[in-house]
Amino acid sequence: MNRTSPRAVVTGIGVISPLGTDVEEFFEALCLPRSGLVRPPAGHVAHGLTDAVGIAPDLDASALVPRHDVGVVDRFALMAVAAADAALADSGIKIGEDVDPRRVAVVASTGAGGMITFERQARSSGERGASGVSSFLYAAFLPNMATARIAIKHGIRGYSSAITTACAASAHAVAEAFRLISAGDADVVVCGGTEATLGGLTGVAGFRNARALASGWSEDPTAASRPFDARRNGFVLGEGGGMLVVERADFADARGAAGYADLVGWGSTTDAFHLIMPNPDGAGVADCLRTAVARAGLATSDIGYVNAHGTGTKIGDIAEAAAIRTVFGDEQPAVSSTKGVTGHLLGGAGVVEAAATVLAVARGLLPPTHNLDAPDPRCDLDHVRGSARPTQVRAALSTSSAFGGHNVALVFEPASTRLSRTGGAAHAG
């Protein structure tokens, strides 16, 4: 990275996750750790299809969108609006007062978009024909509708986009925020993404029939998600996501904002190997990590923590571990995957894990990998397990990978702003 370009700082966080919606409670649950995974209750679409799911809290649509839209907003967009509202409130910024709306961007990404709406409309059209299709179909299911709703609600008039790179989507959105600020195209970016796969039968059944979901854990659903553990046998499907407010650091300073952590680099590569399988040698992930560290102007020895993609799949975890060992050699950073307690939030996973990494850097506390009882020897890393590890790191990485071979890595450092959010409130830096 060219250090003469503006620094970017995270000043606001909003999460919608199986661990709840309060940022402090979310991070506390990651560090205890306290699982958000449950057995699908009777009547839930996933009941009988899988042993464990990560269900995000219900949201009051009437408090988030205009009354006339309550019945037509898809859950993925509703979660994005709620997370953006929370992140903007956390940052304290007032668009139109503190910042020109034309200098604010929004990137709210997703893997699948409004699957709940599309499934319902497909069922309705099957029953009633063409008359069964709502005129609001496209305003509900299109992947960019979360971005549009956030922009309209908050009067954001700058750059806007929605990236749909499956499970890497919301991490790509955060990388886009860095690009926009570095290029001078925005002073403030609201970025992240959400996924609402648990709302419809199609999403759950597709993964179940592909034998991708963890099985054999009906007696203890909290034990089903086991990143890097020898007994892992698939991922746990979750829903949720989040949004970050990322600002030009000098702009944040000028308005007296407190930063959680600086976003200082990113990497993105493609495996070009298989539509849904990762390259077992982890070469694409390794290239991504190297690129991110180099763009940040750092050495690999500067990285003290990696929040890994770590889904709990056999091949995926081995490939990622191989990449980390290849890149860091004898100077291995601490590694953990927070999916042990959240499950896999698909397109919403990257930003939630970026938020976890930002909080780990700010608080000097690295969350452990839950259920990592017996690490797979093929995933030999410096795992944080059992309990959180108090460590002040020079820099940290958050990694994401996805169907299609997409890889993303984000690099965070302690906040450079005069005020910092090191303990849940603003402190002089």
The values of phi and psi at residue 242, to 5°, are -175, 175
Q: How far apart, in Å, are the Cα atoms of 89 and each of 70, 173, 200, 203?
A: 22, 20, 31, 32
- b/e code 49-66 from CB counts within 10 Å (16+ = b): bbbbbbbbeebebeebbe
Contact 256, 243 (CB under 8 A): no
Helices (H), strands (E): how many in the chain? 12, 19
**Which of 309, 370, 383, 406 is an active site residue?**
309
Examine the residue annotation and report whether 288 is marked as an active-site residue of this protein. no
Q: Token digits for 37?
A: 């995974």
List of residues 6+ apart from 152 with CB closer than 8 A: none
Examine the residue annotation and report whether 309 is marked as an active-site residue of this protein. yes
Q: Rounded to whole angstroms, how far apart are CA atoms 48 and 429?
A: 51
**Which of 344, 370, 383, 406 is an active site residue?**
344
Q: Rounded to whole angstroms, how far apart are CA atoms 386 and 378?
A: 20
Q: Rounded to whole angstroms, how far apart are CA atoms 358 and 37?
A: 23
Examine the residue annotation and report whether 167 is marked as an active-site residue of this protein. yes
- What residues are annotated to the active site? 167, 309, 344
